Amino acid sequence: MTQFGAPRNPVNWVSHITAAVVSQPARDPAVVERTNLLNMAKLSIKGLIESSLSYGRTLDSDYPPLQQFFVVMEHCLKHGLKVRKSFLSFNRTIWGPLEMVDKICPEAEDVAASVRDLPGLRTPLGRARAWLRLSMMQKKLADYLRCLIMRRDILSEFYENHAVMMEEEGTVIVGLLVGLNVIDCNLCVKGEDLDSQVCYINVTCTFSIFNPHFFINKQVSMGSYSSVT
């Protein structure tokens, strides 16, 4: 005999919830990487601007927040780079797209010429690092990268479709770079060992307050690529 008020076909809520969770598609790792890199760039740029205003002096190459900013930018530019076949090996380098900037932005010709004339640079990565620093000193980094990011036809030669520079996150990061124009830098590029510097993001060094919930994953995922190219 059926108990009064009880449903004839009781619903198994556990199985329904489990089925709903299982049926949800897994998040694309490339989306996670781009979001994490965007969040890291936001923190890096904000921290650099605030700390430099408090510092009140021209920044040099030894200023830790500035060092970490370049590391973050390098990771953003490396994300989704196509593997390019060379004579001896396969490699990925951010100098490829950066070297194209002076072709589409005449104002960048002086920076590119200065980088090519710098003695002691042996690798494409070293030249890319010098280019970033010289552009920063000129207060033109945002302008140069904006010219590049608007040319998807050029970017597609160097980046996969899921790369930061090919998606909305790249546009947001380039827009944030405009705020760095308030910073004065005097960076020593000549004589610096830019070829062999190890590139890793040191969160505790860069940010005095770190909120782990700022990222999608507690273990930050920013793609797999070599730090030295």
Q: Report d(CA 203, CA 89) in Å as an integer.
A: 32
DSSP conformation class of 181: G
pTM for the predicted model, two decimal places: 0.77
Greatest Cα pair distance in the chain: 93
CATH code assigned at 104 = 1.20.58.900
Answer yes or no: is 219 within a domain: no
Can you give the pLDDT at residue 86? 58
With b for 16 or more beta-carbon neighbours within 10 A and e for fewer, the 188-205 pattern comes to: ebeebebbebebebeeee
Total domain count, the chain? 1
> For residue 169, what pLDDT band results from cuts at 50, 70 and 90?
very high
212 domain residue, yes or no: no
Instruction: Tell me which residue of 119, 116, 108, 81 sits closest to 97, measured CA to CA.
Output: 81
Cite the beta strand spans of the chain per DSSP E: 84-85, 90-91
Each residue's pLDDT tens digit, 116-150: 988 888 899 999 999 999 999 999 999 999 999 99
Domain that holds residue 140: 37-207
Token couple for 71: 């590391």
d(CA 134, CA 119): 15
Residue 53, pLDDT above cutoff 50: yes
Report the share of the chain in percent with pLDDT over 90.
58
Beta-carbon contacts of residue 127 (< 8 Å; ≥ 6 apart): 95, 99, 115, 116, 118, 121, 194
Q: Which one is predicted more confidently, 200 or 66?
A: 66
| pLDDT higher at 158 or 120 | 158
Q: Determine, yes or no, domain membership for 22.
A: no
Q: At what angle do helices 29-55 and 64-78 cross, to 10 degrees?
A: 160
pLDDT confidence band for 200 (50 / 70 / 90): low
Give the H/E segment covering residue 85.
strand 84-85
Domain-located, residue 14: no
Instruction: Give the C-alpha separation, 187 to 60, whole Å.
Output: 5
